[in-house]
Amino acid sequence: METLEFKASDLRIHREWLDGVWKMADGTPLHETASKQDEANPDQTQQDTKEPMNENISKNISDTQRLTRARAKNLREQNKNE
């Protein structure tokens, strides 16, 4: 039997694209869970926001997910300020 070692930061939350929105596996829209995740784990949020905020398209899906999460956070903050 092969044993794999990995860090907790290597794990990703399962999401599905349904009805034009990224949703959690339980059907909850991603934008509703994002604020809960930010409150539950502020250290992870800080790690995610270290990524540069740009419009480069990444071929690596994990990089794209991090940029998308950070961009969603920026949009939420912009909406609060308006």
Residue 1 lies in a domain: no
Say what the pLDDT of residue 28 is. Answer: 61
- Domain extent for 65: 8-81
Counted domains in the chain = 1
Band the pLDDT of 40: cuts 50, 70, 90.
low
Residue 48 lies in a domain: yes
User: 53-72 burial by CB neighbour count: b if 16+ within 10 A, else e?
Assistant: eeeeeeeeeeeebbbebbee
Q: Render pLDDT for 43-81 as a digit per residue (tens, 0 to 9).
A: 555 555 555 555 555 455 555 566 677 788 888 888 887
Residue 34 lies in a domain: yes
Please give the model's pTM, rounded to 2 decimal places. 0.24
Residue 73 lies in a domain: yes
Residue 77 lies in a domain: yes
Residue 2 lies in a domain: no
